[in-house]
Structure formats: C-alpha cells, structure tokens
Structure 1
Amino acid sequence: MRFLKNKLFILLAVTVAILIIMGLSVRKNSKVNSVSNVLTVVLSPFQEFINYIGDRVEGAADYLQNVEALNQENEALKLRISELEKEVKELSDYREKNKELKEALNIKDQFSDVEFLGANIIAKDIGNWFNIFTIDRGITDGITVDSAVITKDGLVGRVISSDLVSSKVITIIDEDSTVSARLSKTRDLVFVKGDLQLKNEGLCRLDNIFPDVDISVGDTIETSGLGGIYPKGIIIGKVKEVRRKSSDLNRYAIIEPAVDFKRLEEVFVLESKDNFDKVGEDNR
C-alpha cells in the first residue's frame, strides 16, 4: 500500500514539474528552454506511451459504441422480420378469404335480392359438432331471426336469436331443425331434419320420400325455397344411404351435409337487402 502511495506521489511530482517547465518555456529567451528541450527528449518515450494508451482507449470506446449500434440495429431487424412475417400471414389469410368470397359470390349471383354478411364463430355448445353456435354479428349489423346461414360449401342453418352484437345459430344437424328441400335431379320435394343420434356423426335425415320418388346414394339435396327462410338452390348435402322401415312408404335417407360441422370458423348470413339498407340508414 505504501509502495503504491510512493509511486503515486512520484508520478504527481513529475507531472507538476513538467507543467512548471512548460510554463516557463513559453517566455522568450528563457534559460529554461534548454532544460525543457532536454526533458522533452527524455520524456518523449513516456509521451508516446501515453498517446498509445489514449489511442487504444479511444479505439476501445469506438468499438463498444459500434457493438451497441449493431445490437440496436439487430433488434430493429428482428422486429421488422417479425412484422413482415405477420404481414405475410395476414396476406395469406386475406387471399384465402378472398377465394371463399369469390366462391360465395358465385352463389350470390343466384340471390340478387340478399346481402352476404361475413361472421366469425365466437362460441359453441358443448360437444364435438357445431349444432348450435354464436357469431359476432347482431342486430346492429342487420341480423334478423330466421336468416339463413351458409358457407362456400353449402347450407349451415338459420339464426334463432339475436342481440345487439351477436347472434345464435342452429344448424341443420340439430334435432330441432327442419328444412324444406328437394332432389336436384328430379325436383321432388322432401324434408331434411336433424336427428338426435345422427347429429353425433355430423349427419341428418331426409323424410317425406314418396314411393314414386327416384332417389339413390350420391344424389344431391338442395333447398326448395319454400317456407320463406332458406332461398332456393342452396346445396344441403348428398344422400349417403337410403333406408326402409317396413315398406316404401316408410323410406328415409341419411344425408351427409356439404358443410363440415366439425371445422366451422366463419360463415355468411343471408339478409334481405331492404332490411340491410334500413339498418344502414339507422346507423347513419
């Protein structure tokens, strides 16, 4: 400890002496100039060493500043990459939705008097199948009870209740659902009903099959337009099986819906344009 104090004292004394000599040497014709010149020669290696250390310290400081700048730039690039990945996903989702909308618009050409309102499913009843669920559209969006609900694939069901910002939908596989339908190939009228047992398989039942009706596996079933709820021509599904109880008078068929009721996420609600325009005026 004493050694360090002595070293520090000597260094301080030398520094003071140098400063005094430099002050005196400023004066013209000073005798100290010669002494100063000698000291300059003697202390030159020491000064070079100090300059070298200073340059090193300055270089280290610049390096640390550059490293900090690179780290900040790296974090900014990571954030931008994350934003770009999000944008790419959103664009991909948009293209997929746009494709669905284009397919839906092909249906829309058949129904010029209705408005298509896209909706997201936000809740469903307990179970594996979407037989009753809630969407994020309500009265303020123009949704009314008994409005038909579809996807690009076909008929989903109808609205059974609505509040300001959401609505509840019952699907065609629910046991409380009945749809007036027809066979696409023969135009014969039938009824599509939900069934308590069949809904656990995502299927529904076709009733009112008269003896003279030509029906077979693979036939397409669509809405008839009767009853005032479902517009005519919406695909319901295909005949999976034709069953008989005791005679042809008791025939019924099992229908496999066109819609996958296990993977529903988004739907379209069909609303009358007159009703939709009225709601738009009220909102304004």
Structure 2
Amino acid sequence: MESKHSKYILTGLTVLCVLLICITSLKDGVMDPLRTGVGYFLIPIQSGVNAVGTGIYNEMKNYGTLKDALAQNEELKDQIAQLTEDNNRLQAEQFELDRLRQLYELDQEYMQYNKIGARVIARDSEKWFQVFRINKGSADGVAVDMNVVADGGLVGIVTDVGANYATVRSIIDDSNRVGAMKLDSSYTCIVAGDLTLYEEGRLKLTDFSKDAQIRDGDQIVTSNISTKFLPGILIGYASDVTIDPDHLTQSGYLIPIADFDNLQEVLIITDIKDTGEAAAQ
C-alpha cells in the first residue's frame, strides 16, 4: 500500500518538474501576462506588508524614544528636586549667617559686657515672644536677672533658670517696667510693657521731666539707676512725647528696636547688676 502511494508521489513530482522545464523554456513574451497578473496580485500585498512593517518599526522606534524621554524626565525631576533642596538649604544657611552676623555686631556693640549666645526654643504666647525659653541654663552660667539682647537692643530679662534652659520675660510683657533715659541726657523715664499697645508696635514711655527736650526718633537706653538692667542698652526710639495734664512730667511712646514677632537667637549678658526693690527694675 505504501509503495503504491510512493509511486503516485514520484509520478506527480516528475510531471511538475517537466512542467516547470517547459515553462522556463518559453519566451519571455509568453510569460509577460503571467508576470503582470502575478504583479497585480502581489504588489498590493507587498505594499501592505511594507506599510505594516514600517508602521510597526516606527511605533517601536517611537516607543523607544518615549521610553527614553520618560526616563530623562524622571532624571530631570530628581535633579530639580535636589537643586530645590540645595537652594532651600543654602537660603536657610544664608538667613542663619545673616542673623549670626547681626548677633556678632551686637556683641561688638556691647563689648563692655560678657555675653553668651542662645537659641529660642519655645514661647508661652502664640502671638508674640512676651515670655519665651532659651536653650541655655545654669549649666552654661545663666542666672536669674541676666539681661537679654537681640536685634540691636534690649529684649528682656531672665526670670527662671533650669539646668539646660532659661525663661525670659520680654519688655513688652504687661508686668515689665524698665528704668530708662534719653541717650544724650540725664533725664530718666520708664518704659512700660503693654501688650495691647504693642499691637500698634509701640510701648508706653512715661515719667519724663517736663524740662527734658524729647524729639521723635531720640534713642532711649537703659538708665544707670535701673536696679536690674545694665546701663546703656538701647531699648528703642521716642515717639509723640507730650506734656502730661499735671504739667510736671511728659509721656509718649517708644518704638522698640527688637522684633518681638520673630526671635530666633539672643545674647545673654552674664554680668548681673545688684538687685533691689524698686518701682522700676
């Protein structure tokens, strides 16, 4: 049975070979119609295959390009994030450097006093630094009644001390009174803390002699008769001083030099003036 099928297969292949020999022996002119017909059939298929191949190639190329672009975009995002972080860090360092430079200048301005630097770590009020804490305490030599300065002038006085912290009551607190004087005269006065008044950026200036010549902008400093504040520390500037109704004294306002909205670093003067009971500290 198998030999019979093999005979048929061999016969078929022989006939096909003879047919192909005959076809190839014909003249080109005879084959032209066949070639033309085949061309009409194959060319659209070939064009379609080429178009599909080109489209697939372009899609793959575009996908590769998109993939590279996405990778570059992520890399650029990482670079931008790093640069932003570096810029923020440099700005923070610059701000801190500026504050420390101002603190250094303040240190030079009051060279007659011994001082140590401290950082503000907390405050008791959400609005202003009327009572706040610093990161230096008795272990660093800080003691009650030491004067505290910042921003070019007086900030307050130490009222409580722990081993590694201290509490400072600022001059804007309602309970605070500072014995003061006009810088270029011997006329004394009192700077009174007033939180309500400080909403306008001012403190109360009272008990100036009626004979004192006070102009807006005159510097007001701690006086030599103050019992707790060392003399000669700038507090602020006089404003709107007028004669009182009793015609014996003058009163007005003081614009503090220190910024009690934003305190970050301060200097603690470690020299302590002899304390005593008085109406003004």
Give the TM-score range, shorter chain: 0.5 to 0.7
Letter in 1 for 2:177: T
Q: Which runs of structure 2 are paired with 1:177-256 in the superposition (5 Å)?
A: 177-195=176-194, 198-224=197-223, 227=226, 229-240=228-239, 241-248=241-248, 250-256=249-255
Letter in 1 for 2:176: S
Could you tell me how far apart the structure 1 residues matched to 2:134 and 2:58 are? 62
Could you tell me how far apart the structure 2 residues matched to 1:247 and 1:114 are? 42
Q: Which runs of structure 2 are paired with 1:1-284 in the superposition (5 Å)?
A: 60-61=59-60, 63-112=62-111, 113-119=114-120, 122-127=122-127, 130=128, 132-135=130-133, 137-139=135-137, 142=140, 143-163=142-162, 167-195=166-194, 198-224=197-223, 227=226, 229-240=228-239, 241-248=241-248, 250-261=249-260, 263-272=261-270
1:101 CA displacement = 2.8
What residue ranges of structure 1 are gaps of 5+ in the alignment?
Answer: 1-44, 274-284
Letter in 1 for 2:75: A
Q: Greater CA deviation, 226-235 or 105-114?
A: 226-235
Could you tell me how far apart the structure 2 residues matched to 1:181 and 1:195 are? 16
Letter in 2 for 1:270: I
Q: Secondary structure at the match of 2:178?
A: strand
Distance 1:165 1:77, change over 3 A: farther
**Equivalent residues of 1:173, 1:202 under 8 A apart:** no
Could you tell me how far apart the structure 1 residues matched to 2:120 and 2:158 are? 12
Letter in 1 for 2:270: S
Distance 1:167 1:53, change over 3 A: farther
Letter in 1 for 2:245: K
**Equivalent residues of 1:119, 1:269 under 8 A apart:** no
1:146 CA displacement = 3.2
**Equivalent residues of 1:175, 1:195 under 8 A apart:** yes
**Equivalent residues of 1:159, 1:168 under 8 A apart:** yes
1:75 CA displacement = 1.7
Q: Secondary structure at the match of 1:149?
A: strand
Letter in 1 for 2:137: I
Could you tell me how far apart the structure 2 residues matched to 1:208 and 1:132 are? 23
Could you tell me how far apart the structure 2 residues matched to 1:180 and 1:197 are? 21
**Equivalent residues of 1:147, 1:158 under 8 A apart:** yes
Could you tell me how far apart the structure 1 residues matched to 2:80 and 2:195 are? 51
Distance 1:176 1:190, change over 3 A: same
**Equivalent residues of 1:174, 1:199 under 8 A apart:** no
Q: Secondary structure at the match of 1:252?
A: strand
After TM superposition, the score normalised by the length of structure 1 is 0.62
Could you tell me how far apart the structure 1 residues matched to 2:232 and 2:99 are? 18
Letter in 2 for 1:244: D
Letter in 1 for 2:214: I
Distance 1:220 1:164, change over 3 A: same
1:187 CA displacement = 3.8
Q: Counterpart in 2 of 1:4? A: none
Higher Rg of the two aligned structures: 2
What residue ranges of structure 2 are gaps of 5+ in the alignment?
Answer: 1-42, 272-281
Letter in 1 for 2:238: V
**Equivalent residues of 1:150, 1:267 under 8 A apart:** no
Q: Secondary structure at the match of 2:89?
A: helix
Identity %: 21
Q: Counterpart in 2 of 1:11? A: none
**Equivalent residues of 2:118, 2:136 under 8 A apart:** no
Could you tell me how far apart the structure 1 residues matched to 2:148 and 2:75 are? 45
Could you tell me how far apart the structure 2 residues matched to 1:52 and 1:141 are? 85
**Equivalent residues of 2:217, 2:238 under 8 A apart:** yes
**Equivalent residues of 2:117, 2:265 under 8 A apart:** no
Distance 1:232 1:88, change over 3 A: farther
Letter in 2 for 1:183: K
Q: Over residues 49-75 of structure 1, what are the superposed CA-to-partner deviations in whole Å (9 max), with x where a residue is unaligned?
A: 999978976775564344333313212
1:124 CA displacement = 4.2
Q: Greater CA deviation, 201-210 or 180-189?
A: 201-210
1:236 CA displacement = 0.8
Q: Greater CA deviation, 136-145 or 146-155?
A: 136-145
Could you tell me how far apart the structure 1 residues matched to 2:257 and 2:147 are? 15
Could you tell me how far apart the structure 2 residues matched to 1:59 and 1:227 are? 88
Could you tell me how far apart the structure 2 residues matched to 1:206 and 1:81 are? 53
